Amino acid sequence: MRLSPSAFFARLGFSALAALIGAFFALPLIWFLFAPFNARAELGLALPNPFTLANFAQVIQNGFAMRGLLNSLIQAVGGVVLVGIAATLAAYALSRSSLPGKGAVTYVLLLFSSVVSGSAAMVPIFLIISAVGLIDTHLAVILVFAGGLLPTAMFILRDFIDSIPRSYEESAMVAGASPVQAFFDVALPVIRPGIVVVVVWAFVNVWGSFLIPFILLRSDELMPASVAIYSFYSEAGTPIVTLLAAYALLYSLPVVALYLFVSWKFGFRFFGGIKA
Amino acid sequence: MASVEFQKVTKSFGTFNAVTDLDLAIGDGEFVCLLGPSGCGKTTSLRMIAGLETPTSGKVLIGGDDVTYLHPKDRQISMVFQDYALYPHMNLSDNIAYPLKVRGEPAGKRAARAKEVADVLKIGDLLDRLPSQISGGQQQRTSLARALVYPSRVYLFDEPLSNLDAKLRLEARSFLNHLQRDMGMTAVYVTHDQAEAMALATRIAVMNKGQIVQYAPPIEIYRRPATTFVANFVGNPPMNLVPVDAQIAEGVLQLRAQGLSVPGLPVTPGIAAAIGRAGRLTLGVRPEHLRIAADAAGPRLSGKLFANENMGPEKLVTVERPDAGRVTARIFTDDEIRLAEDVAFTFALEHLTLFDAEGLRIPLEGEA
């Protein structure tokens, strides 16, 4: 197909503009990939020269920071397991049961959840956790995250389950399955793509959160990476860019790995079997 | 196999009555079709047999046992769903054998039985596939295989053929008919397709607005539709219905409508009861009982040619009568038929059906 000159220049202009905008947004990412390997990294973008792994070597020797990554993992996995199980069961019940007012329940929960995990509720949360005696434990962080993320997770999952025909479970029950069997044999595998989405979302939320662990935890041994990253600031509060960049890259790897694993193993997709 | 019975069953959703005061007895080994337009309560009735809906009042019996509040899993029934409801994560073998799995059969026995049923349904070489990897017709047969894999007391079908294309639907219909002859199963089959109901049922329950309008063998439904609703629902195309003015004079019944000319008919007690001396009736005549009038003799029904559709062995000729009602005739001929703008049909008087002002069929002389 031949383009007329005006259309050609219009497309050329559009492409140039798009490239410019793309480059603008890509710059921080490129810095993020280059700086960790640069012995003299600064805030400006530069090719690693000389290319080095010394930054990583130094970061790995920082026990507090490494311990932080492990703590992040404990808290994120704990939160995800709790949110995943509770949200699946609750969303399934909300979707399939004929409870009156179940819609209102979901919306009220959703409304409050944005308050619960928000900084506005930090004082009451601290007081509650302190009263329960869980200050400075992984469990405190996990529970607070679960409480904050559950309503939204339930909301997402309920919508997902609503879109799945009931005839799956109905056919299982007519075939002789109890409701529990029908749930585990048929409903759960069909809902799985929705659960995967919620799990990834919850993991990323806990993994990246700073305020809640910072407030609820006391001891260095329990601090997650989001807090530990501050050990790469000097006494005066200026970042040690080389180490910070290396640690940031390490810190982001588990999330990337999770995405890759999920899309390889489960895929963010849905499979058929119902004839519409 | 077992009988099924509804006793005064009502099911309401909020203020809407999906099924009202339903009484229906389905004998052991019968194949009953619930036939009606969407929203008539036929699927709700089926789901109450399955236990997927609970009646608001009344009782449902299977094999004489009250199962009104029994969980579906304890009813020993099978059901084929309109959307097939195949489990997308299981291969065909596991799908078909699922009812055996929940009954605790060992895996080897399950697979063997699934293979056996699948072979009968000609999907035996697809057992390793997932439901998404087979065609619609194969999915339909898989869901049928899952229903047949274990002995059930009642087989339920919820519009199982409505998602198939026309040719496959005919094939599947014949197969179901064959299966019924072979197994003598008790089956309840929901459909809105009168041809399916006619082809499969030993008895048809025609439903409208949550109630049964007529419950009779197909040929009875076809020959003696109880109401204009049934007449208009059964038959392809359905019965022609012409509103007429009726008058009894000198011992004969005179019917008048524009484009209609019928000689005086004998007055039966039924007719006398329906109109007294004069009133409105509806005259019904099946398209296949109309012929194109060759001469001026005999009863006739005429109008302006509206459509002339060639269906192969038959032609569908539709005329528009002066009062805008349409009448269709099925003319069985291989030849092209040439028609003038004005067309007159004729018919034998014995093929007339009369309905009273409420739309109820007026019984003939000698009928109860």
pLDDT at A129: 92
In the predicted model, is pLDDT for residue B296 greater than 50?
yes
Tell me, yes or no, whether A164 and A259 share the same domain.
yes
Task: Give A161→chain B minimum CA distance, Å.
Answer: 15
Give the residue-averaged pLDDT of B35-61.
94
**What is the rounded average pLDDT of the residues A223-235?**
87
pLDDT at B193: 93
Q: Considering the domain boundaries, does residue A64 fall inside one? A: no
* Mean pLDDT computed over every residue of chain A: 87
Whole-number percent of chain B with pLDDT over 90: 70
Beta strand residue intervals within B81-210, DSSP E: 154-158, 187-191, 203-208
pLDDT of residue A269: 55
Provide the pLDDT confidence category of residue B275 given band limits of 50, 70 and 90: confident
Residue A183 touches chain B, beta carbons under 8 Å: no
Does residue A47 sit in the same domain as residue A83? no
Question: Measuring CA to CA, how many Å separate A250 from each of A65, A66, A82?
Answer: 10, 10, 25
Facing A168 at nearest CB: one of B73, B85, B101:
B85
pTM for the model stands at: 0.83
Kindly report which listed range (A56-60, B138-142, B241-245) carries the lowest average pLDDT score: A56-60
What is the rounded average pLDDT of the residues A204-229?
A: 90
Give which of B298, B299, B343 is closest to B318, Cα–Cα.
B343
SS3 B186: coil
Cα B80 to Cα B141: distance, rounded to the nearest angstrom: 10
Query: Does the beta carbon of A170 lie under 8 angstroms from any beta carbon of chain B?
Result: yes
pLDDT in tens, B195-235: 999 999 999 999 999 999 999 999 999 999 999 999 999 99
Token code pair at residue B131: 């439901």
Backbone angles phi, psi at B281, to 5 degrees: -130, 170
Asked if residue A166 and residue A125 are part of one domain, the reply reads: yes
In a domain, A246, yes or no: yes
Range of the domain at A45: 1-52
In a domain, residue A276? The reply is no
Q: Do A167 and B83 touch (CB under 8 A)?
A: yes
Render pLDDT for B3-30 as a digit per residue (tens, 0 to 9). 999 999 999 998 899 999 999 999 999 9
A195 in a structural domain: yes
Does 3.90.1150.10 match the CATH number of domain B238-355? no
Question: Is B238-355 in the same CATH topology as B4-232?
Answer: no
In a domain, A58, yes or no: no
Which of B78, B83, B89 is closest, CB to CB, to A174?
B78
Asked whether residue A272 is domain-assigned, the answer is no
Query: Do A106 and A193 fall into the same domain?
Result: yes
Question: How distant is the Cα of B72 from the closest Cα of chain A, in angstroms?
Answer: 5
Pair of tokens at residue B192: 């809105």
Shared-domain flag, residues A137 and A48: no
Mean pLDDT of B347-353: 91
Do residues A166 and A125 share a domain?
yes
d(CA B167, CA B189): 20
pLDDT band at B113 (very low <50, low <70, confident <90, very high): very high
pLDDT band at A203 (very low <50, low <70, confident <90, very high): very high
Write down the pLDDT at residue B210: 93
Chain B residues with CB inside 8 Å of A181's CB? 102
C-alpha dist (Å) from residue B52 to A173, B48, B140, B269, B313: 9, 6, 21, 47, 44
User: pLDDT-derived band of residue A141, with 50, 70 and 90 as boundaries?
Assistant: very high
Look at A173 and B84 and tell me if their CB atoms are within 8 Å. Answer: no
Closest residue of chain A to B156, computed from CA coordinates: A174
Residue A159 three-state SS? helix
The answer to whether residue B366 scores a pLDDT higher than 70 is no
Residue A178 lies in a domain: yes
pLDDT of residue A151: 87
Percent share of chain A, pLDDT over 70: 94
Are residues A20 and A78 located together in one domain of the fold? no
User: Which residue ranges make up each domain of chain B?
Assistant: 4-232, 238-355
Please report which confidence band the pLDDT of residue A197 belongs to, taking 50, 70 and 90 as the band edges.
confident
Q: Which two tokens stand for residue B34?
A: 């619930």
When pLDDT is averaged across residues B284-289 and rounded to a whole number, the result is 94
What CATH number is given for B4-232 in this structure? 3.40.50.300
Cβ <8 Å between A272 and B132: yes
CATH number reported for the structural domain that contains residue A139 in this entry? 1.10.3720.10
Question: A231 and A109, same structural domain?
Answer: yes
Q: Are residues A76 and A194 in the same domain?
A: yes
What are B's interface residues with A at a Cβ cutoff of 8 A? 50-52, 71-73, 75-79, 81-89, 98-99, 101-103, 130-132, 136, 139-140, 143, 146, 150, 156, 163
Q: Which of B99, B120, B244, B257 shows the shortest CA–CA distance to B179?
A: B120
Verify that A37 and A102 share a domain, yes or no.
no
**Domain annotation covers residue A271:** no
When CB atoms are compared, the residue of A175, A271, A275 closest to B146 is: A175
Residue B216 main-chain phi, psi, to 5 deg: -160, 165
Residues A243 and A121 in one domain: yes
Given an 8 Å threshold on Cβ–Cβ distance, is A170 in contact with B85? yes
Per-residue confidence at A63, pLDDT binned at 50, 70, 90?
Answer: confident
| Structure tokens, B5 | 């019975």
Contacts B99 to A, Cβ<8 Å:
175-176
What ipTM did this prediction achieve?
Answer: 0.84
- Of the candidates B83, B87, B88, which has its C-beta nearest A276's C-beta? B83
Could you give the CA distance from residue A242 to residue A42 in angstroms, rounded to a whole number? 7
Q: How far apart are CA B269 and CA B264, in angstroms?
A: 16
Mean pLDDT score of chain B: 91
- Nearest CA to A138 out of A77, A188, A94, A49 is that of A77
Q: What is the pLDDT of residue A273?
A: 46
A47 and A81 co-located in one domain: no
Chain A residues with CB-CB distance to B130 below 8 A: 271, 273
pLDDT at A276 over 60: no
Q: Do B89 and A167 touch (CB under 8 A)?
A: no
Q: Within an 8 Å CB–CB cutoff, is residue A188 touching chain B?
A: no
- Give the residue among B158, B137, B203, B213 at the shortest CA–CA distance from B44: B158
Please say whether the beta carbons of B122 and B168 come within 8 A. no
Distance CA A4, CA B326 (A): 58
- Given this model, what pLDDT does residue A266 score? 73
B282 falls in which pLDDT band (50, 70, 90)? very high
